[in-house]
Amino acid sequence: MSKEIKLRALTGDRPTGKLHLGHFVGSLQNRLVLQDTHEQYVMIADVQGLSANAQDPQKIKDNIYEVALDYLAVGLDPQKTTIFVQSMIPEIAELTIYFLNLVTVSRLGQNPTVKTEMKEKGFDTSVPAGFYMHPINQAADILAFQARVVPAGEDQSPMIEQTNEIVEKFNRLYGPVFEKVSMLASHTPRLMGIDGKAKMSKSLGNAIYLSDSKHDIEKKVMEMYTDPEHIKATDPGHVEGNVVFSYLDVFDPRHEEVAALKEQYRTGGLGDVTIKKRLIEVLETIIAPIREKRETYAKDPAQVMRMLEEGTKRAREVAAQTMAQVKNAIGINYFS
Ligand code: ATP
Ligand code: MG
């Protein structure tokens, strides 16, 4: 019987904090689908995390475990998805070195993701070189596994573009080793922060985490920005730019009811507390089972680390095969 050949998918997260609702809708939900249709690799990007946290490796170390717990809690299945730790695959670092020669410094400076993140993280002219070149490192992450699909949020599309430029240049110079990569965007390519900022992000402190308690959710939703002109329930209010409604649009499956609530809010007669209570209930319904599963896995940290170790071992074999192909193509396999 011939074995079905599945395309490879790869994504990852920096272990700079626990995962949040932005990760859930931007990427994790698609990964749950891909683990059945693709040969999926999910990477905990500690090397990338360190590029902006070199002074605090303990934070990165602690969060490797937290992110692994989040993965298991949302339903990534280690039997279907190879979950691994980036720094334990030296082939990725090696591949990065060769890719660095294929990209100019000025091209890196034009990358919108890098520009935005430099601003987010408060780097001015003091950006670490490792951070600046991380689109190349990311291309190496993807191509070390010869992945064809990357399920990610909208902020990642310049990264995929950069990866494909590297594919083109590498193949032109050394022969056809890599294939183009495509991004699988989600229905919600960008979830706003609870503060109304464009993007929910760990480092912006505006996130609802998949591990948040019901109390945390209540507190965060109650503090959400709605409409400053909507003072009394009877006042007409704005739905656009209203964080509570934008979350209901994403998370509440009862679309018709949400549409009716919006109408009522616009004309007046619907209080902020009513819609906030609804959102709390909607979010708790999503997060409660994740939180419970997370607590179960957290009872056996050694098993979580074993799962990562096994995944990393499998991942390394694949990356080593690619590296051998790369060295053959460039012609630098001197002793074999
Ligand atoms: P950091 O603050 O360290 O940058 P982050 O919260 O922005 O962390 P990343 O590690 O940058 O998270 O992102 C991991 C993945 O999750 C990427 O695919 C990204 O597109 C997706 N993602 C992160 N935040 C959101 C969001 N608010 N909406 C949609 N997708 C998101
Ligand atoms: Mg980010």
Residues 169 and 226 in one domain: no
Look at residue 140 and tell me if it is in a domain: yes
Rounded to two decimals, the pTM is: 0.93
Residues 291 and 314 in one domain: no
Look at residue 281 and tell me if it is in a domain: yes
pLDDT of residue 123: 84
Pocket test for ligand 1, best of 156, 201, 209 (most atoms within 8 A of CB): 201
Residues 313 and 166 in one domain: yes
For residues 324 and 298, what is the distance between their CA atoms, to the nearest angstrom? 38
Cα torsion 286, 81, 151, 136 to 10°: value is 130
Look at residue 19 and tell me if it is in a domain: yes
Assess whether the C-beta atom of 276 lies below 6 angstroms from ligand 1.
no
Residues 57 and 151 in one domain: yes
Closest protein CA for atom 26 of ligand 1: 22
Count structural domains, the chain.
2
Q: Which ligand is closest in space to the CA of residue 17? A: 1
CA of 268 to the centre of ligand 1 (A): 36
Residues 124 and 162 in one domain: yes
Look at residue 324 and tell me if it is in a domain: yes
Residues with pLDDT less than 50, the chain:
1
Closest protein CA for atom 12 of ligand 1: 201
pLDDT digits (tens, 9 = 90+) for 8-54: 999 999 999 999 999 999 999 999 999 999 999 999 999 999 988 99
Q: What percent of the chain has pLDDT over 90?
A: 78
Residues 74 and 151 in one domain: yes
Note down the domain range covering 109. 8-192+301-330
Residues 160 and 286 in one domain: no
Look at residue 137 and tell me if it is in a domain: yes
Residue with tokens 């019987």: 1
Look at residue 77 and tell me if it is in a domain: yes
For residues 168 and 234, what is the distance between their CA atoms, to the nearest angstrom? 60
H, E, C per residue of the chain: CCCCCCCEEEEEECCCCCCEHHHHHHHHHHHHHHHHHCEEEEEECHHHHHHCCCCCHHHHHHHHHHHHHHHHHHCCCCCCEEEEEHHHCHHHHHHHHHHHCCCCHHHHHCCHHHHHHHHHCCCCCCCCHHHHCHHHHHHHHHHHCCCCEEECCHHHHHHHHHHHHHHHHHHHHHCCCCCCCEEECCCCCCCCCCCCCCCCCHHHCCCCECCCCHHHHHHHHHCCCCCCCCCCCCCCCCCCCCHHHHHHHHHCCCHHHHHHHHHHHHHCCCCHHHHHHHHHHHHHHHHHHHHHHHHHHCCCHHHHHHHHHHHHHHHHHHHHHHHHHHHHHHCCCCCC
pLDDT digits (tens, 9 = 90+) for 116-160: 888 888 887 788 888 899 899 999 999 999 999 999 888 889 999
Assess whether the C-beta atom of 200 lies below 6 angstroms from ligand 1.
yes
pLDDT of residue 3: 64
Assess whether the C-beta atom of 156 lies below 6 angstroms from ligand 1.
yes
β-pairing, 39-44 vs 81-85, is: parallel
Look at residue 201 and tell me if it is in a domain: no
Q: Which ligand is closest in space to the CA of residue 22? A: 1
Look at residue 241 and tell me if it is in a domain: yes
Closest protein CA for atom 18 of ligand 1: 152
Cα distance from N-terminal residue to C-terminal residue, the chain: 34
Assess whether the C-beta atom of 26 lies below 6 angstroms from ligand 1.
yes
Domain CATH for 124: 3.40.50.620
Residues 306 and 291 in one domain: no
Residues 70 and 144 in one domain: yes
Residues 34 and 152 in one domain: yes
pLDDT of residue 155: 82
Assess whether the C-beta atom of 53 lies below 6 angstroms from ligand 1.
no
Q: Which ligand is closest in space to the CA of residue 202? A: 1
Residues 40 and 176 in one domain: yes
